[in-house]
Structure 1
Amino acid sequence: MIVTQAVTKTYGSSCVVDGVSLTLPAGGITSIIGPNGAGKSTLLSMISRLMSMDRGTVTVDGLDVTQTSSEVLAKRLSILRQDNHMTARLTVRDLVSFGRYPYSKGRLTADDKTHIDNAISYLNLTDLADRFLDELSGGQRQRAFVAMVLCQDTDYVLLDEPLNNLDMKHAMGMMKLVRRAANELGKTVVLVLHDINFASWYSDYIVAMKDGKVANQGPAPEMIRPEVLSAIYDMDIKVHDIGGQRISVYYE
């Protein structure tokens, strides 16, 4: 499991993440939600060691992320950043192969190539494997980046706003793939989401942040309630129960 203890990040006089302590469950999908500026992406970046923390600790299955070697950590935890644009002209296969770097150091083995082929197939990219990224649609390109992360073959997969710039159809397709990876591949997925409906439909556990702190957390059915969401977003939010299982959110 991922455990944060009093994690804090400040910029000048502004405290972006304020003493966050969390225990994120192993397995399934955990979504981090909250209004803009709540500190969601900053927290995810500190968990993955992409950003240093001013105070606090983060452990992944007991490994302190600040003390663990990059080689070891990269085999346990992978992250897809929000700003995942590539300047180099790469094919889908080239991009996905980067996920094997912690194992191959750039010298791909037969096992690495199998992982690459499997990740490309899993994200339904086989027909596009030799296409350049700048020739793909936004949804196809995003799937290629997720394939790269899955190719890294880590127990923990962190996704920072993976639905950015995707229309509703492609966003739903992406969430179905993430759900499938959690179920079939046994991944623990932690993602930052802005869309509460996607969080409600696909998450097992939800962490809500506000003003740099954890405002609330719990299993998805306990979090997707009008009184909980309205307090987090400072607006009137209604919840509609569909069939006793699925929940949709709308605003007034």
Structure 2
Amino acid sequence: MNARHFLTPERTTPGAVVCAAHGVEVVRGSRKLLDGVSLELRAGEVLALLGPNGAGKSTLLSLLSGDVVPDGGRIEFAGRDITEWSLTDLARRRSVLLQDNQVLFPFTVHQVVEMGRAPWRRTPLEDDDNSAISESIAAADIGHLGNRRVPSLSGGERARVSFARVMAGRTGVLMLDEPTAALDLGHQEAVLSLARSRAEAGDAVLVVLHDLNLAAAYADRIALLRAGRIVACDAPERVLTAGIISDVYETAVEVIPHPVTGKGIVLPLRGA
């Protein structure tokens, strides 16, 4: 993938809060999926959401994107309550890649990527459609797929097509739910390198990950969740400690420095 600079329709001052959760709760039946969670997403950063299965990561991303309404607390987007934004206005300001992003209809690769431009129809930025689509296809390394039908692709190829669709929107906020789950090693690194370059260009990037070491390598901050609450939210080296990770994941680990970058590598103590 080519980590190119993507022009966006709006720019926010680096470090400014673009989206925030204030004491949010989500209840399903007798279970609290989120319990009093507060979190800020800032322009110019990659914020990773980590935690065990069922910790509330995807639910929190859905709240911050405006796809789910909290049962308590509130969400702010660009300084306003998120309920004050229309779906079209939100779509022009944040791009969302959901965990379940399968395309079942026989659209071509190009048609799916083109869907990312839908919010800009009948606006002056519609003139950018062709360049946005072609750059996104190149960035996601799917140009060789041509006009193949998406259902005929492998899981990893479909994931990259969905990522290209999100990139084509050229918004200033990326919200990615497990974007690397179906990808091989090389494309995992490429996706997060591109996300990293977007943050360095001033965008805000929120990403749900399961791989602790990817988060350590690419995130500016990590919010670690357990049972619907944030256990820690700080720089990777302050969150990914042996004590915190062993406790949250209920698995003994050690954290060692990478021999080149010095960033922490989390390793399970197998057999311990």
Aligning the two structures, in what range does the TM-score lie when normalised by the shorter sequence? over 0.9
1:1-252 → structure 2 map (5 Å cutoff): 1=17, 2-104=19-121, 109-183=126-200, 185-242=201-258, 243=260, 245-252=262-269
Q: 1:198-242 CA deviation, whole Å, 9 max, x = no partner?
A: 111111110000110011010122212212222222222210102
Contact 2:103 2:151 in 1 (8 A): no
Q: Matches of 1:88 and 1:202 in 2, distance apart?
A: 34
CA distance 1:75–1:143, shift in 2 (3 Å): same
Q: 1:83-119 CA deviation, whole Å, 9 max, x = no partner?
A: 001111111110011111111169x943222211121
> Tell me, what secondary structure is at the counterpart of 1:100?
helix
Q: CA deviation at 1:181?
A: 3.2
CA RMSD between the two structures: 2.0
Q: Matches of 2:175 and 2:226 in 1, distance apart?
A: 20
Q: Matches of 1:143 and 1:105 in 2, distance apart?
A: 27
Q: Matches of 1:87 and 1:139 in 2, distance apart?
A: 15
> Tell me, what secondary structure is at the counterpart of 2:83?
coil
Contact 1:239 1:250 in 2 (8 A): yes
Q: Matches of 1:177 and 1:23 in 2, distance apart?
A: 22
> Tell me, what secondary structure is at the counterpart of 2:148?
coil
1:199 partner letter: A
How many aligned residue pairs are there?
251
Which blocks of at least 5 consecutive residues in structure 2 are unaligned?
A: 1-16
CA distance 1:237–1:178, shift in 2 (3 Å): same
Q: Matches of 1:49 and 1:88 in 2, distance apart?
A: 25
Which blocks of at least 5 consecutive residues in structure 1 are unaligned?
A: none
Contact 1:104 1:112 in 2 (8 A): no
2:29 partner letter: G
